[in-house]
Structure 1
């Protein structure tokens, strides 16, 4: 009678160790990425307002372009971890190389589009006559680093699939430090202005990609995996990424609609919305770290044919998601009085943000489960379902958000609609997880 509970506790402790070992370094790497833009902003900001405005526009365009291709990391993690679970490291690394080749091809395509259309893209974002030249300069130079950025995404997916989240952390921290130093030297030492900031970022990103490639190539040589591009493998990587691309675009559409609605509510509301959205994104990093652990762990269990182990790991990660969500929600409630003055002294902005922050706090346990289940289904390679579920969520959220200006409620009502969106995601993900249809074992899905 006592053996079963003891085995259960042992299993939970094993899952806890796995989750912590993968999630903590993943969180560090996730947080390091936005620091690139933060460092650039701090350095360029001293050049002048027009330069900083130009950087803001160009960074928004670059961030959007790169985030669209985040499937390079997600799909590669799932595919590689399955093969690791099956004990076929050679095939795992070969699959990872296909993802890296796909990243290089996509990066070249993005450069071909961005360089000639940079002025039009900057104008589309409403850049002023004074800021536009700086935005175009930064965008065109930084676009040269996009292939490296996409290689970093794909190679990060390879290492996560290999159950290694420490190396991405080390590379991200080193890249941030190199970027900061290069920016100072090139912007002020070489007197290149905003162009120096762009070149510093490109050099740092290329250095990060080179380190990743060195690690992956060394692993390929060790396990006898081919480094040559394989058309069939690249095509398979692209096909696996298409549903996740649809999912990502749907999520981006939700965020854009929310921002557009907030802008219609008034200046105080859009300012408060931007503050809350920044906090929401920061909280998402903590929850996404558990999801990344879920991708790697679930893929490995399914690849090893251990369906029950995958279910047990899923259940434990959900418990982690709820616990971390509750802790983050409590932190948001307690820190509201100190948090808002860091961003604004405007009483109207504070009045708009305070009740909306309560909604954000209450929603964090829901967000915790959503992120975990999202990662579980990604690790299982269940991309098509995730795409359809996010499209359905977009269809539910859009009318709810667009009705906010007409029905009233201000920013609080808008963030209630955002919580409805997360609740919709929770329902769709929970139904899929409960059905068990995601539990498909084997080295490939």
Structure 2
């Protein structure tokens, strides 16, 4: 949970640093730019999610060689995709801003932010793979260290580039990109300590044939294909949410972005339980233990519900002071305060969807995740269109409903997932790393 809580602090710091300048257009630009980066970078979030499920299952089965090979594959794929994204910076950026609404000043700020962030793409995607691998092994302290290093670097870079050099939204983007490279360096040190050798040595030890064995690559890409479709569907929902705010003006876009920081904090903290479920459920599948599978769901579900209720209460009571801390603009503060109750409800109504994500990711049930994600996205878009006459109230009503839609779609698949288990004797794990 501590590691997860630190992840959204990157976005919170970005919003706070630019928000304290009092420039509404710059804050709106960071909001729009962050949406673009999220849509593009997290389209490859399977590098984190697929890595966790596959690693935990290999570790549960005692297959040390496959655990090591998964790390090398993830880094190779993440680095290659990151370099490709950087090469495609111009067309991807222009296409994104042709689709997403934004005034001239907002788009100019967002363009600078996005351009700077793309230079961190190779590092960001490799960090996805490292984080997923660490979660799969249950090495949450190492993952926490990685996130804390990234956050510390991001704070320093943002403050220096924005307040020291006056670079505005572009400075925020450059600061975050620089922090991603620092995080990659730290991540390579951490995984070397966990695996007992650096990734290059692991690759040489395994050999090219084992690393890229056809059966292993087919499984990896089959799971990742479904996870990518699911992730893109959910990212479209968030991009649509940001675009809905942009249609209502820069102040509404900025206010919604401020409130989205509450949502991100809730999502990442409660995902700590979901990631625990991923690891434990992957272990249960590796050992074919139905009892372990059910126990992991029960315990993470109980803790998720309690934590969600506490966070909802905290957001409700402390939300307005936090809004004032993030932004100095009176209009942005007033708009964000008006819709704060919706953000405060998200930890409760979003908890089931995040937990079920963990259950199905740990089970490597990509098809169910894909179908539920696409269905939720289609129904969310329909709801938002129907509620447009209500303005920003309709935007938040549809957004809130999207979490219930996501949970409902996965709940339809849960009985068959449970039935797929046969109670067997847990097997030994002679070669497990964790």
TM-score of the superposed pair, with normalisation by structure 1: 0.78
Aligned equivalents of 2:123, 2:323: Cα separation in 1:
36
- Deviation readout 1:191-214 (Å, 9 max, x if unpaired): 999877666544432232133234
1:315 paired to 2:298: yes
- Deviation readout 1:142-199 (Å, 9 max, x if unpaired): 4232111100000111111111011122122223323444566677889999877666
1:111 paired to 2:86: yes
Structure 1 portions without partners, runs of 5+: 1-23
State the Cα distance separating 1:59 from its structure 2 match.
Answer: 4.5
Deviates more, 1:139-148 or 1:103-112: 139-148
Identify the residue that residue 296 of structure 1 maps to in structure 2. Answer: 279
Structure 2 portions without partners, runs of 5+: 430-434
Match of 2:149 among 170, 174, 184: 174
What is the CA RMSD across the aligned residues, in angstroms? 3.9
Match of 1:77 among 24, 41, 52: 52
1:226 paired to 2:201: no
State the Cα distance separating 1:27 from its structure 2 match.
Answer: 2.1
8 Å Cα contact 1:27/1:286 also seen in 2: yes
State the Cα distance separating 1:116 from its structure 2 match.
Answer: 6.0
Matches within 5 A, 1:282-293: 282-293=265-276
Aligned equivalents of 1:63, 1:172: Cα separation in 2:
17
Call closer, same or farther: CA 1:165–1:124 in 2, change over 3 Å.
same
Call closer, same or farther: CA 1:103–1:347 in 2, change over 3 Å.
closer
1:335 paired to 2:327: no
Call closer, same or farther: CA 1:211–1:309 in 2, change over 3 Å.
same
Call closer, same or farther: CA 1:307–1:268 in 2, change over 3 Å.
same
State the Cα distance separating 1:82 from its structure 2 match.
Answer: 0.7
Matches within 5 A, 1:337-356: 338-339=321-322, 341-342=324-325, 343=327, 350=334, 354=338, 356=339
Call closer, same or farther: CA 1:231–1:188 in 2, change over 3 Å.
farther
Aligned equivalents of 1:415, 1:56: Cα separation in 2:
16
1:416 paired to 2:394: no
Q: Which has the larger radius of gyration?
A: 1
Aligned equivalents of 1:425, 1:283: Cα separation in 2:
16
Aligned equivalents of 2:157, 2:343: Cα separation in 1:
37
1:37 paired to 2:19: no
TM-score of the superposed pair, with normalisation by structure 2: 0.79
1:253 paired to 2:236: yes
1:430 paired to 2:407: no
Call closer, same or farther: CA 1:344–1:83 in 2, change over 3 Å.
same
Call closer, same or farther: CA 1:270–1:91 in 2, change over 3 Å.
closer
Aligned equivalents of 1:244, 1:321: Cα separation in 2:
23
Call closer, same or farther: CA 1:416–1:123 in 2, change over 3 Å.
closer
State the Cα distance separating 1:377 from its structure 2 match.
Answer: 0.9
8 Å Cα contact 1:183/1:196 also seen in 2: yes
8 Å Cα contact 1:93/1:158 also seen in 2: no
SS, match of residue 424 in structure 1: helix
Q: Which has the higher contact order (CA 8 A, sep 6+)?
A: 2
SS, match of residue 324 in structure 1: helix
SS, match of residue 8 in structure 2: helix
Call closer, same or farther: CA 1:41–1:438 in 2, change over 3 Å.
farther
Call closer, same or farther: CA 1:280–1:139 in 2, change over 3 Å.
closer
State the Cα distance separating 1:119 from its structure 2 match.
Answer: 5.7
Call closer, same or farther: CA 1:360–1:67 in 2, change over 3 Å.
same
